[in-house]
């Protein structure tokens, strides 16, 4: 680690003499450290050097959010690879849970972010969702994007992982009918966080909302909202503020299952068969809506 710290010194031109380095829990994928001197306070994510492209995409995503100015993200200090490490260095922010005012502010800010129209569906580079590759080929047609770049890719991966039979046959039926969920709804491309569960949003010590660890792309804002509901929800204040700023279309209640299916299939591919029956139930529930 000392060699990496010397490397970061040359990369940033900052003196890191007398720095203290502390390992902090880290997330699901990477290990994480806090590096402090009198003048700097950094959050460092580390992974294997061959995974450096994950951090290139994460840094690009954070910079894109920063440019939009709607929701605060940590500043990117630098990223790259050195010896056995890929690294991403961010400003360290003391994080608190979102609640009350900060949750409400986050709902308003996310709605403001989503209301800004982007030029196409997709994103300039591919990234990852968890550690699974996420494909972002540019498209003007959202239904085609969701079918090909999202559900179809996860179903193919599931087939490779040995989840055949009814998942694949029901999945095929659903892929053929995705357009039916959009008969009276034409989403526009919005910058999405892409992996917006409770572990990737917080507030700073002033109560300003912060998002981090994005898997971003331009897509239907309902996909971000759906994910906020998948693992517990962000609380009444968040949803009330979002709705007040930029109300959702009624069909969201049904389409959210179509959007969360992507994440459940991804969990199936990452964490195993515990998610298989949930994935099949979601597909069947969606097909039942079309009868």
User: Which residues in this chain contact ligand ADP in the complex, by CB under 6 A?
Assistant: 26-30, 32, 43, 74, 90-93, 95, 199-200, 212-213
Q: How far apart are CA 131 and CA 144, in angstroms?
A: 24
Smallest distance from ligand ADP to CB 194, Å: 13
Q: Which is nearer to ligand ADP, 204 or 245 (CB)?
A: 204
Smallest distance from ligand ADP to CB 230, Å: 16
Q: How far apart are CA 201 and CA 207, in angstroms?
A: 12
Task: List, in sequence order, every residue forming a beta bridge with 210; answer none if it has no partner.
Answer: 72, 202
Q: Using CB atoms within 10 A of its CB, is residue 97 exposed (0-12), middle (13-18) or buried (19+)? A: exposed
Q: Which is nearer to ligand ADP, 91 or 137 (CB)?
A: 91
Tell me phi and psi for residue 31, to 5 degrees.
-95, 155
Q: Quick check: is 195 catalytic?
A: yes
Task: List, in sequence order, every residue forming a beta bridge with 10; answer none if it has no partner.
Answer: none
Q: Beta strand 20-24 with 85-91: parallel, antiparallel or unpaired?
A: unpaired
Q: How far apart are CA 193 and CA 110, in angstroms?
A: 9
Q: Which is nearer to ligand ADP, 198 or 251 (CB)?
A: 198
Of 195, 213, 224, 237, the active-site residue reads 195
Smallest distance from ligand ADP to CB 200, Å: 6
Smallest distance from ligand ADP to CB 41, Å: 9
Q: Give 210's contacts (C-beta < 8 A, 6+ positions apart).
A: 71, 72, 73, 74, 93, 95, 201, 202, 203, 204
Per the listing, tokens 């050097």 go with 49
Smallest distance from ligand ADP to CB 43, Å: 4
Give me the active site residues, please: 195
């Amino acid at each position: 680690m000392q060699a990496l710290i010397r490397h970061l010194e040359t990369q940033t031109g900052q003196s890191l003499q007398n720095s203290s380095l502390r390992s902090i829990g880290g997330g699901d994928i990477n290990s994480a450290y806090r590096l402090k001197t009198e003048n700097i306070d950094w959050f460092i994510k580390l992974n294997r050097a061959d995974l450096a492209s994950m951090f290139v995409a994460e840094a690009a995503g954070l910079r894109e959010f920063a440019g939009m100015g709607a929701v605060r993200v940590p500043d990117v200090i630098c990223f790259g690879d050195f010896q056995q490490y890929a690294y991403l260095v961010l400003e360290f922010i003391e994080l608190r849970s979102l609640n009350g005012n900060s949750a409400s502010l986050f709902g308003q800010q996310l709605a403001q972010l989503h209301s800004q129209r982007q030029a196409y569906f997709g994103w300039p580079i591919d990234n990852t969702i968890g550690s699974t590759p996420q494909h972002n080929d540019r498209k003007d047609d959202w239904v085609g994007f969701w079918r090909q770049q999202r559900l179809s890719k996860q179903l193919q991966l599931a087939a490779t992982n040995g989840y055949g039979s009814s998942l694949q046959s029901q999945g095929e039926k659903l892929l053929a009918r995705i357009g039916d969920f959009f008969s009276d709804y034409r989403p526009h491309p919005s910058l999405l966080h892409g992996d917006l569960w409770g572990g990737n949003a917080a507030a700073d010590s002033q109560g300003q909302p912060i998002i981090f660890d994005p898997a971003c792309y331009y897509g239907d804002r309902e996909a971000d909202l759906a994910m906020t509901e998948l693992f517990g929800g962000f609380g009444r204040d968040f949803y009330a503020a979002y709705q007040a700023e930029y109300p959702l279309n009624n069909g969201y209640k049904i389409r959210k299952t179509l959007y969360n299916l992507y994440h459940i299939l991804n969990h199936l591919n990452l964490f195993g068969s515990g998610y298989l029956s949930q994935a099949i139930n979601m597909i069947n529930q969606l097909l039942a809506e079309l009868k």
